Amino acid sequence: MSFSEFTPADYEVIARDYALLKEAARRRCASEEELQVVQKAFDFANEAHKNVRRRSGEPYILHPIAVASIVVSDIGLGYKSISAALLHDVVEDTDYTVDDIRKLFGDKVASLVDGLTKIKNVLDKQASNDEAYTRSIQAENFKRILLTLGDDVRVVLIKLADRLHNCRTIEYMPEYKRDKILSETMFIFVPLAHRLGLYEIKSEMENIWLRYKEPDAYAEISSLIDRNLSDKKKEIDRFVIPVEEALGKAGFKFEIRKRVKTPYSVWHKMQTKNISFEEVYDLYAIRIIFTPDPASAESERDQCYHVFSIITGIYKYKPERVRDWVKHPKSNGYEALHCTLLSDNGVWIEVQIRTKRMDDIAEKGIAAHWAYKKDGYVSENDSEMDKWLDKVKDILTNPDVGALELLEIIHNDLVTSDIVVFTPKGDQKSVQKGATALDFAYQIHTDIGNQAIAAKVNMKLVPLSYVLRSGDQVEIITAEDEHPKKEWLHFLQTRHARVAVMDYFRAERPAMIQSGREYVQERFKAMGIHASEGLFRRMALQLEISNADELFFRFSLGLIPFEAIVDMAGQAPAPQVRKRWNFPWFRKETAEKPKYVLASCCKPIAGDPIVAFKQPDGTITVHKKSCPVAEGIAAKHGDWIVMPRWEEVQEQDYLVRISIRGTDRVGLLNEITRYISLVMGVNIKKLVLGSEQGIFEGYIDLYVHDKEVLTTLMGKIAGIGGIERVMRTEL
């Protein structure tokens, strides 16, 4: 921030932006009195931020106005939230206090501002020299953010609006700050927006992330989308005409909106499926949004199926691509019926069928969901969001969960998808993807989990460790004298079930702590390691466990292997132990000269956009900016981020993989390898190519000096007759 007198042009921009916000607020406010509160909040914030500028040079007040605009237009919150958004930086950046806000605007607005101020304090706080503090500062930040879910979810919704606007203006940030913000955004805020049903906010954050993390890919995909859309626009218009005519004839009141996949969603699909842009067949979508006929004998759900039957009577559809989130809504409240239809011109188009209520929830998320609930509309999915919020509160209030552990738990919970299984009576239950039969038992009731001995899935006897699949019918077999086993902790997937098992053994906790402590002390003595309470406390800190007692309790449960205990004490004989158990806590003495290591998870090559992390031992690990592992590290340890240049990293040839597909012909393989080896002078390490029914497909692992060489080589191979696709893929 900086200070300088506002000019007439500045005041003109402020007045213009606020006028737009006020108009949006007028449509949302229930009375003139509510609108006056918004006006009062703007006047107060405008005066408080007078002559203060952002990094971009624009008046600072434009940021709160923009956040408030997102709050009302994109999320659909009311006047108290709009006012809080306008005031959200006042307490942090000026001499005004929360009590001042309370006197002027009441308890609720003051409470929202207080929650936002606490979040901002920890996010902006600089890391100190205290190692314990620097290791967990980012995790503590998110713990503070998520704790507000227990108070008022509107604080998190306003924070999401604030983060979205910060992303929109991120170009003015220095690169290291940009990477930290974008990594936090992708690791927590994007999945949080998804979980709360804010798809538009989620999509915009993802696209901004891609634009800065993979700028070349973003530019190329955006260009391909624009070019493709220009070519296909008339075809899509022709596709819609018979749909409109048929629905109108059937008496539906509806509108049709057209949309195209975002650059990020295309990029993500290309990465995860290892496909080219041309193979993303559901690039286009139309949304049919209709108002259900209250006089109809058909329910809202049945009217969605009626629309489906009409459009699939016009166009062929892919049965395997039907997604019925009307009968089985997502846990974040999303309801819609998706299908993919083939146009007369051979273009696959995704069709999304929604009622007006479903569309409001899809666009505004949890705010719209609760608004309908308040108005008396109750859907079968009403309890899902409340269940999730209760689960988050339970995690947050557990004193044994450290900040880094909590961040990982919440992140995993946010990104985990659900599947649907059925009880023997046919009742539908949503369970976490990857959950076992025993996880399901604990989900039904803790006592059923504790007494479980086996399960029947689809009428067949299976062990409790059986991993459930969507559509399974599950029956849990129990015995009154049965009790939890320590071994269960090795295959349980859901946190609720794991906590239930650990809680059962907490009755034996003192004895287990004592036996664990004695075992470690005896083994350490035999190995010549001095076992002090200070060492045990440091080991617990490294594990992000609350204290040494909890360390020994988890050790006795078998959750922490002895090899990891030795490793943390600094006595591991070889680094393989750390790799095998995936405990990265023990660090060697800092090297005199930084050592650059290329991350094995993403294998960057010279020319790739990179981010690096300087770990406590001085090693600098280099990742691709878009690497998911790097995102997790940056979200937890933002203070480790460094921005190296490729010339600082030791020159070498980099191993990469290119995947090739095409139509087979005589001499094609020879032509490819001849070009790689003789023309480009590139060394081939491995070649796996084959032909079946005239299709030539496989991959080549080779060494290149940098990304420019790789791009040139791929371009030349793509130009060889018969080659349809050349892509860089993961090793």
pLDDT at 127 over 50: no
pLDDT tens column, 466-501: 999 888 899 999 998 889 998 898 889 888 888 888
- Least confident segment among 212-221, 338-347, 377-386, 393-402: 377-386
Return the pLDDT at 400.
54
State yes or no: is 100 an active-site residue. Answer: no
pLDDT tens column, 263-295: 999 999 888 888 888 888 778 889 999 999 988
Per-residue pLDDT averaged across 80-107, rounded? Answer: 93
Higher pLDDT, 563 or 394: 563
Return the pLDDT at 573.
35
Return the pLDDT at 548.
85
Return the pLDDT at 591.
35
Among residues 93, 653, 671, 724, the one annotated as catalytic is 93
Per-residue pLDDT averaged across 335-351, rounded? Answer: 90
Q: What is the DSSP letter of 5?
A: P
Return the pLDDT at 310.
96
pLDDT tens column, 245-263: 999 999 999 999 988 889 9
State yes or no: is 92 an active-site residue. Answer: yes
Per-residue pLDDT averaged across 546-574, rounded? Answer: 74
Count, residues in the chain? 731
Per-residue pLDDT averaged across 146-157, rounded? Answer: 70
DSSP letter for each residue of 587-655:
-PPPPSS-EEEE-TTT---TTS-EEEEE-TTSEEEEEETT-HHHHHHHHH-GGGEE---GGGSPP--EE
Going from N- to C-terminal start, the domains of the chain cover: 2-198, 215-364, 507-581, 595-648, 654-729
Backbone φ/ψ region at 603: left (φ over 0), alpha (ψ -120 to 50), beta: left
pLDDT at 635 over 80: no
Per-residue pLDDT averaged across 311-340, rounded? Answer: 86
pLDDT tens column, 224-240: 998 888 878 888 889 99
Q: Look at residues 414, 415, 430 and name the one whose alpha carbon lies nearest to residue 329.
A: 430
Q: How many CA atoms lie within 13 A of 407 on its CB side?
A: 25
Per-residue pLDDT averaged across 714-721, rounded? Answer: 89
185, 145 contact by CB (below 8 A): no
Encoded amino acid at 93, one letter: D
Indicate the fold that domain 654-729 takes in CATH. Alpha-Beta Plaits (3.30.70)
439, 492 contact by CB (below 8 A): yes
Return the CATH number of the domain spanning residue range 215-364.
3.30.460.10
pLDDT at 162 over 80: yes
288 has which bridge partners?
256, 353
Among residues 34, 58, 92, 418, the one annotated as catalytic is 92
pLDDT at 132 over 60: no
Q: Which of the listed CATH numbers 1.25.40.10, 1.10.3210.10, 3.40.50.300, 3.30.360.10 matches domain 2-198?
A: 1.10.3210.10
Return the pLDDT at 3.
83
Q: What is the pLDDT confidence band of residue 637, given thresholds at 50, 70 and 90?
A: confident
